């Protein structure tokens, strides 16, 4: 069985959702953030040296520890014999790989930067405004792609959609994503309505971004 070391309101919610979609057995060990710093507790460093979530332990593989969301997602695709992985069609497979990496490589950094800057009194809020155009450019690109197809890779949901869920939920919360981008908002409604997504919410506990 897989153990998910799950930090509240974090990227690890995606791993719970993916496990539910794949139907793989798992258990959750839940951690709460430090109320002052909002950082992960030191207990996570006992699981992996970086002390961050998500981290999984695979009991079916002698307790193998896997960290980093993208690496975990690819590990689970392999464990599930390719389910939710890259589509067979070459163009769709390339889109799959692009969005799988775009989520953390391009989408999340300006969102995180804006969050950090907004917590700095006076000056931070002003500087944060300069980050918004980068977020808007990413959101406009996402909107243009989702206007062409229901899922990021094509006609079927894949792990690329799971990877993109957290940055787009964060963007709706603090990055300016709203009804002015209807295709993206419709995609969020579709993923939130999935039974596996709802089951993952119950497994993980309160989640601020739904």
d(CA 54, CA 16): 10
Lowest mean pLDDT of 4-13, 35-44, 197-206, name the range. 35-44
> What's the pLDDT score for residue 130?
87
Averaged pLDDT, 195-203: 96
> What's the pLDDT score for residue 134?
96
Does the pLDDT of residue 123 top 90, yes or no? no
> What's the pLDDT score for residue 72?
97
Residue ranges of domains in the chain: 2-84+196-204, 90-194
Does the pLDDT of residue 122 top 80, yes or no? no
127-139: per-residue pLDDT in tens? 778 899 999 999 9
> What's the pLDDT score for residue 39?
72
Provide the pLDDT confidence category of residue 116 given band limits of 50, 70 and 90: confident
Query: Three-state DSSP class for 170?
Result: helix
> What's the pLDDT score for residue 55?
94
pLDDT above 70: percentage of residues in the chain: 99
Burial class (CB in 10 A: 0-12, 13-18, 19+), 91: exposed
Does the pLDDT of residue 13 top 90, yes or no? yes
At the topology level of CATH, where does 2-84+196-204 sit?
Glutaredoxin (3.40.30)
Averaged pLDDT, 84-108: 97
Average pLDDT of the chain? 93
Does the pLDDT of residue 151 top 80, yes or no? yes
At the topology level of CATH, where does 90-194 sit?
Glutathione S-transferase Yfyf (Class Pi); Chain A, domain 2 (1.20.1050)
Looking at residue 156, the DSSP 8-state letter turns out to be S
> What's the pLDDT score for residue 175?
94
Averaged pLDDT, 168-183: 96
d(CA 104, CA 91): 21
> What's the pLDDT score for residue 207?
86
Question: Does residue 58 come out as left (phi exceeding 0), alpha (psi in the -120 to 50 range) or beta?
Answer: beta
Which one is predicted more confidently, 43 or 90?
90
């Amino acid at each position: 069985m897989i153990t998910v070391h799950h930090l509240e309101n974090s990227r690890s919610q995606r791993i719970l959702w993916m496990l539910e979609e794949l139907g793989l057995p798992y258990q959750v060990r839940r951690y709460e953030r430090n109320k002052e710093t909002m950082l992960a507790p030191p207990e996570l460093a006992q699981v992996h040296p970086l002390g961050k979530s998500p981290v999984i332990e695979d009991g079916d593989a002698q307790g193998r520890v896997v960290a980093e969301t993208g690496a975990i997602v690819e590990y689970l695709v392999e464990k599930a014999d390719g389910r939710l992985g890259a589509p067979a069609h070459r163009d769709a497979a390339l889109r799959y790989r692009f969005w799988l990496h775009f989520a953390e490589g391009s989408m999340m950094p300006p969102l995180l930067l804006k969050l950090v800057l907004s917590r700095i009194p006076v000056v931070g809020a002003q500087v944060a405004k300069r980050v918004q155009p980068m977020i808007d450019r990413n959101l406009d690109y996402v909107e243009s792609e989702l206007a062409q197809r229901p899922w990021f890779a094509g006609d079927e949901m894949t792990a690329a959609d799971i990877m993109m869920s957290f940055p787009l939920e964060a963007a709706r919360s603090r990055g300016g994503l709203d009804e002015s981008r209807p295709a993206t908002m419709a995609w969020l409604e579709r993923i939130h309505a999935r039974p596996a997504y709802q089951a993952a919410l119950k497994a993980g506990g309160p989640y601020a971004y739904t």
